[in-house]
Amino acid sequence: MKQSRYSPGARLHRQTSGAVRFSRTFTMVFAGHPARAAVSAFVLVISVFTALLALPWASADRHPMSLVDAAVTATSAVTVTGLTSQDPEFYSFAGQVVILAAIQTGGLGIVTLGAWLTLVVSRRLSLRTRLLSTESLGVSKLGEVPALLLTVFVVTLSIEALLTLVMLPVFVESLGIGEGIFHAVFYSVSAFSNAGFVLDTTSLTHPLIMTTINVGVFAGALGFPVVYMLYRMVFHKARMNLHTRLTLEMTAILLFGGAVVLAIFEWNNPATLGPMGTVDKLHNAIFASGMTRSGGFNTYEVTAQTDQTLLVTNVLMFIGGGSGSTAGGIKVTTLAVLLLAIVTEIRGDEHIRVHRRELPVSIIRVAVAVLMAGAVVVLTAVVLLTWVTGADLETTLFEVLSAFGTVGLSTGLTASAPDAGKWILIAVMFIGRVGTITFATGLTIRQQKTLYRFPTERPIIG
Amino acid sequence: MKQSRYSPGARLHRQTSGAVRFSRTFTMVFAGHPARAAVSAFVLVISVFTALLALPWASADRHPMSLVDAAVTATSAVTVTGLTSQDPEFYSFAGQVVILAAIQTGGLGIVTLGAWLTLVVSRRLSLRTRLLSTESLGVSKLGEVPALLLTVFVVTLSIEALLTLVMLPVFVESLGIGEGIFHAVFYSVSAFSNAGFVLDTTSLTHPLIMTTINVGVFAGALGFPVVYMLYRMVFHKARMNLHTRLTLEMTAILLFGGAVVLAIFEWNNPATLGPMGTVDKLHNAIFASGMTRSGGFNTYEVTAQTDQTLLVTNVLMFIGGGSGSTAGGIKVTTLAVLLLAIVTEIRGDEHIRVHRRELPVSIIRVAVAVLMAGAVVVLTAVVLLTWVTGADLETTLFEVLSAFGTVGLSTGLTASAPDAGKWILIAVMFIGRVGTITFATGLTIRQQKTLYRFPTERPIIG
Ligand SMILES: [K+]
Ligand SMILES: [K+]
C-alpha cells in the first residue's frame, strides 16, 4: 500500500524507522559488547571535558588546573557526582559553562545509555523475560524504546525549564539579569541531574531555592523508567507498574525516615540545625536527607555534623537513588528486593510477593551481586585511600561512599588528597556511575538454560 | 523379640531411647517456641554467672565488681566473646574458675542448642527438606542426632585434653605444677571454645602456645557439623559433604588471604610486626588472621595496628566462623553462598552450582536475611555507642564488630565505656551469639506452600 507523502502518520513512521535504524547501526558497532560500549563512551566524554577544563581559560585567574584536578572535575561532572578539588569560585564563566555542559551530557548520557543497553540486551532475552523487561521499562514492546527516549529528553528539558523559571526571580533579583539567568539554569540542571555542583557557597540559603533544588533532585533521582511511567499515567491513563511503586515507596521512606533520624541527631548541634527555628530545622533536615539520594547539595558543613548523622548519611549514600536515574548507589529497588527477601523469610513464604505481584526467583541473586560488588568496591577504595592519605576511617569512608553513590557531599578529602588519592576517587566515581549500570544490566540478561543438573545439597548457613 | 538384658546392643538401644525421650520432653516444654527456648536458656545461664562474678570472692582484692561489669564478663564468657572491662589480673582464682565454667557451659551449650534446634525444627520439615537438613548435619536420619551430640561432647573434651597436654610442659616449667595445669586447661578450653579469655597478658609470646591456641581456635571455629563429619570420615569412611567442603575452603581462604593482607600492612609497623624476624612476622600474621575467625587472642595491641589492618580485621570479624560453631559473625558458608551467587550471575547460570552440587533456590534468601540482619544490628549498635561514648567511628565499629562476631579483640572501649555503653555491648554479644543461631535456624524451617500465585513482575534493580 502506497502511503501519502504528506500524511502525518507516514512522517511519524519514517522518523521512528530512522531512529530504529540509527539504533541498529549503533548496536552493530558494539554488537555483543554493551559493557565495552558504555565504558568507552564515558571514558571518551570524560577525556574531552578533562582537556577543556585543563586549559587556562577555564580558571578565573587564567592559571590552569593540574591534569588530575581537571580530571576530578570532569569525571565529577560527567558522572554527576559533584566532588571537586577546587572552590566553586575557582572557575571562570567559561569553565562554569563547560561544567554545565558536562553535567547535562553526563545526565542525559546515562539515561540514554541505560535505555539503549536495555534495548540491546533485551534483544537477546527469551520472549518471557523480554516481556518482563519491557514491562518494567514502562513500554509494551521494544519498538517503543525510541519513543521512550524522545519522551525522556522532552520531559527532562521541560522539568529543567520549569525549575529554572521558579528560581529565576530570586536569582535575577540578587544577581541581575545575565548572571541571574545563568544561575537559574545551572542550578536547575545541576539539581535535576543530581550533580550537586554549585556556583558559589551562599546561594542555597534562600528557602525557595532550597525547596526547588530538593524537588529537582527528588524527581531526577527517581529514574527515567519511573518518569516515563508517571508521564504515561498522566497522559495515557496507564496503570502504575511495580517498579514505579517500589521506587516511590522506598524513596519516600528513605527521605522522611532519614530526615527524622537526622533531625534527632542534629537538633541541638550549634554548627548545623541548632540555631534555626523549628520550621527551618525540619526543612533543612528533609533537605539534607533528600540530598543523600544523590543530589549532594549541602546547607551546612558536612564535617560539622555529629558522628551519628555521618554514619546514617553513609548508609543513605550507599543506597543511592532509583534505577536508570542519574543517582548512584546500589539503588532503592535493590534495597527493596533485599528487604522483601527478609520479610519473605520471616513469614516463611515460598515466593517473594509484594503488591499482589511475585518477584522472579533470579532477582534476589542479582540484588545480592549488586550489593556485594558495591561493598567490595567501597572497602577496597577505603583501604587504599586511608593508606595514601593517612586520613581516618570516618573521613575516608564518607568520601568514598559519596563518590560511589555519586553524591558529592565532601569532608574536604577530595581537595586535600595527594594525586594518588584523587585518582582513586576518580576511579570510584567512574565505577559507581558506569559500573553499576553495566554490571546490573549485564547481569540481568544472561539467563542461560543448562542442559544438565546436579543433585541438590544444602549447606548450613547463618 | 525379647532382647537379652546384657547384650551391649540392647544397652545402647536403651540409652538412645532415653536420650530421645528426654529430647521429646524438652521439646514439648518449648513446643513451637525454639527461639524462646534458646533465648531463655542463655538469659538464665548468663544471670547465674553474673551473680557469681558480682560476689566479692571473684575479685583478687575481694572488692566486688559492679553489676554491669559482672554482666559484661558473664555475657562475654557464656557467649565466648572475650571482651571484658577488667584486666585479666583483676580476677581471683575462684573468679577464673567461674569464667572457665562459663566458657565451657557457653561453648558446649551453643553446640547442644544448635543440634537440638535443628532436631526440633527438622520435625516440621517436609521429607525432602528434612533429608537435606540431616544430610548437612552429617547424619542420615534424625534418630542419629543424640549419637551426634554424644560424639560432639566426647570429641570436644578429647581435643581440649589434647591441647592441654601439648601446652602443659611449657606452663608447668614457667609456673609450677598447680598453676601450670590450670593455665593449660584454661587456655585449651578458651581456645577450642573460641572464647579468647586470657589469665594474664604475657602467656601468648611462647611460639608453641601460640601455635597450639591457633590450632584450637581453627578447629573450634569449624563448627560441630564439620567436626562430626570429619570424625565420621576418619572412623566410618564417610564421604565429605558439601557443608564441610565449603567451610574448610572458605576458612582456609580467609585464614591465608587475611594473613597476606595483614602482613602487607603491618610488615614495617614498629608497634606490631616491625621488630620481628621474617618467620615470626609470618607466624604472627597467620595468628592474627586466624584470631578474627573468632578466637580473639592477640599478641600485640589492637590499636597499634594500621587503619588498613583494622578495616580488614573488621570485615573478617563480621564474617566470623563456621555454622554451628562457637564462632560468631554471619558465618563462612553464608559468605560462600553470597559469593557463589555473584559467580552464578556473572556466568549467567540458572542454578548455583558448586562441587557438582546445586544449592536450593531458597538458600540465597536465607543468606541475604542473615547478612542484612547482621548489618542492621551492627549499624544500630554503632550509632548508639558513638552517641553514648563519644568515641570515634573507627574505635566504635571495631568494638561492635568484635562483640557481634564474638571475637573479643578490643580497642579498650568495653573497659572505658560508661554503663549504658557496656549494656549496649552486652546486647550485641547476646544477639551476635543467640540471635544468629535462632534467626538462621528459624528461617530455614518455615517453608510453607502457598495455594495461590500472583503474576510475576520484575522491577529494575542495580
Ligand atoms: K551528586
Ligand atoms: K572470642
pLDDT of residue B335: 93
- Measure the CA–CA gap between B208 and B217, rounded to whole angstroms: 14
Q: Check if the beta carbon of residue B110 is closer than 8 Å to that of residue B80.
A: yes
CB contact under 8 A, A361 and B361: yes
DSSP letters, A343-392, are HHHHHT-SS-EETTEE--THHHHHHHHHHHHHHHHHHHHHHHHHHHH---
Tell which wins on pLDDT, A88 or B398.
B398
Query: What Å distances lie between residue B83 and B72, B108, B292, CA to CA?
Result: 8, 19, 13
For B215-334, list the strands marked E by DSSP.
Answer: none
Q: What is the mean pLDDT of residues B56-66?
A: 87
Q: Is the pLDDT of residue A322 over 70?
A: yes
Least reliable range by pLDDT among A313-322, A430-439, B104-113? A430-439
Tell which wins on pLDDT, B249 or B64.
B249
Count each helix (H run) and each strand (E run) in chain B, helices first.
18, 2
What is the amino acid identity at position B342?
Answer: I
Q: Which residues does chain A have within 8 Å of residue B347's beta carbon, measured at their own beta carbons?
A: 446
Tell which wins on pLDDT, B6 or B109.
B109
DSSP letters, B172-227, are HHHH-HHHHHHHHHHHHHHHHTT----SSSSGGGSHHHHHHHHHHHHHHTT-HHHH
What lies within 8 Å, CB to CB, of B39 at 6+ separation is B434, B438
Rounded to a whole number of angstroms, the distance from the CA of B291 to the nearest CA of chain A is: 19
Query: pLDDT confidence of A283, banded at 50, 70, 90?
Result: confident
Q: Three-state DSSP class for A165?
A: helix
- Measure the CA–CA gap between A290 and A295, rounded to whole angstroms: 7
Q: Which residue in A337, A345, A454 has the most chain B C-beta atoms within 10 A of its own C-beta, making it the best mutation to test that interface?
A: A345
Q: Integer distance in angstroms from the first to the last C-alpha of chain B?
A: 66
Query: pLDDT confidence of B246, banded at 50, 70, 90?
Result: very high
Least reliable range by pLDDT among A226-235, A342-351, B99-108, B382-391? A342-351
pLDDT of residue A247: 92
CB contact under 8 A, B459 and A394: no
Q: What is the mean pLDDT of residues A435-453?
A: 57
Q: Check if the beta carbon of residue B332 is closer than 8 Å to that of residue B247.
A: yes
Tell which wins on pLDDT, B460 or A323.
A323
ipTM of the complex: 0.80
Q: What is the pLDDT of residues A121-139, one digit of tens each?
A: 555 555 555 554 555 455 5
Query: pLDDT confidence of B401, banded at 50, 70, 90?
Result: very high
Nearest CA to A87 among A185, A202, A194, A242?
A: A202
pLDDT of residue A6: 43
Query: What Å distances lie between residue B401 and A403, B81, B395, CA to CA?
Result: 25, 11, 10
- Measure the CA–CA gap between B30 and A244, rounded to whole angstroms: 45
CB contact under 8 A, B364 and A365: yes
Ligand (nearest to CA of A408): 1
Q: Is the pLDDT of residue A210 over 90?
A: no
pLDDT of residue B9: 43
Chain centroid, CA B436 distance in Å: 10
Tell which wins on pLDDT, A354 or B38.
A354
C-alpha cell at B330: 554471619
Tell me how far the alpha carbon of residue A404 lies from the centroid of ligand 1, in angstroms. Answer: 10
Q: What is the pLDDT of residues A219-269, one digit of tens each?
A: 888 887 788 788 888 888 888 888 899 999 999 999 999 999 999 999 988
Rounded to a whole number of angstroms, the distance from the CA of A197 to the nearest CA of chain B is: 24
SS (H, E, C) A31-78: CCCHHHHHHHHHHHHHHHHHHHHHCHHHECCCCCCCHHHHHHHHHHHH
Q: Which of B333, B387, B460 sits opposite A308 (nearest CB)?
A: B387
pLDDT of residue A10: 44
Q: What is the pLDDT of residues A192-205, one digit of tens each?
A: 988 888 888 766 77
Least reliable range by pLDDT among A109-113, A301-305, B399-403? A109-113
C-alpha cell at A164: 529554572
pLDDT of residue B2: 41
Q: What is the pLDDT of residues A370-418, one digit of tens each?
A: 888 889 899 999 999 999 998 988 899 999 999 999 898 889 899 899 9
pLDDT of residue A118: 59
Rounded to a whole number of angstroms, the distance from the CA of A58 to the nearest CA of chain B is: 35
Q: What is the pLDDT of residues B75-94, one digit of tens each?
A: 999 989 988 888 878 889 99
Kindly provide the b/e burial profile for residues B259-277, where b requires at least 16 CB atoms within 10 angstroms of the residue's own CB: bebbbebbeeeeebbeebe
Query: What Å distances lie between residue A284 and A75, A290, A406, CA to CA?
Result: 29, 10, 21
Ligand (nearest to CA of A110): 1
Given the DSSP bridges, would you call strands B357-358 and B353-354 parallel, antiparallel or unpaired? antiparallel
DSSP letters, B283-295, are HHHHHHHHIIIII
Q: What is the CA radius of gyration of chain A?
A: 23
Least reliable range by pLDDT among A281-295, B16-30, B398-412? B16-30
Q: Which of B135, B386, B454 sits opposite A358 (nearest CB)?
A: B454
- Measure the CA–CA gap between A394 and A254, rounded to whole angstroms: 22
Q: Is the pLDDT of residue A8 over 50?
A: no
Q: Which of B339, B357, B394 sits opposite A392 (nearest CB)?
A: B394
C-alpha cell at A68: 588530575
Q: Check if the beta carbon of residue B34 is closer than 8 Å to that of residue B121.
A: yes
Mean pLDDT for all residues in chain A: 81
Tell me how far the alpha carbon of residue A230 lies from the centroid of ligand 1, in angstroms. Answer: 23
Least reliable range by pLDDT among B176-185, B298-307, B443-452? B443-452
Query: A239 exposed, middle or buried (CB, 10 Å; 0-12, 13-18, 19+)?
Result: exposed
Q: Is the pLDDT of residue A4 over 70?
A: no
C-alpha cell at B108: 558446649
Q: What is the mean pLDDT of residues B103-130?
A: 65
Strand partners, B456: A358
Least reliable range by pLDDT among B83-92, B138-147, B190-199, B214-223? B138-147
pLDDT of residue B381: 94
Q: Where does A144-266 have alpha helices with state H?
A: 145-175, 177-192, 207-220, 224-236, 242-266
Q: What is the pLDDT of residues B335-381, one digit of tens each?
A: 999 998 888 877 777 788 888 888 887 788 888 888 888 898 999 99
Nearest CA to A329 among A427, A435, A241?
A: A435
Nearest CA to B250 among B224, B223, B216?
A: B223
Q: What is the pLDDT of residues B117-161, one digit of tens each?
A: 656 655 555 555 555 455 545 555 556 667 767 777 888 899 999
CB contact under 8 A, B372 and A338: yes
Q: Is the pLDDT of residue B68 over 90?
A: yes
> Dihedral, CA atoms, B242, B246, B229, B217, nearest 10 degrees?
-170
- Measure the CA–CA gap between B178 and B171, rounded to whole angstroms: 10
pLDDT of residue B200: 80
Tell which wins on pLDDT, A135 or A44.
A44
Q: Check if the beta carbon of residue A199 is closer than 8 Å to that of residue A96.
A: yes
Q: Three-state DSSP class for B358?
A: strand
Ligand (nearest to CA of B328): 2
- Measure the CA–CA gap between B225 and B135, rounded to whole angstroms: 10
Q: What is the CA radius of gyration of chain B?
A: 23
pLDDT of residue A352: 84
What lies within 8 Å, CB to CB, of B390 at 6+ separation is none
Q: Is the pLDDT of residue A445 over 70?
A: no
pLDDT of residue B60: 86
Rounded to a whole number of angstroms, the distance from the CA of A461 to the nearest CA of chain B is: 5
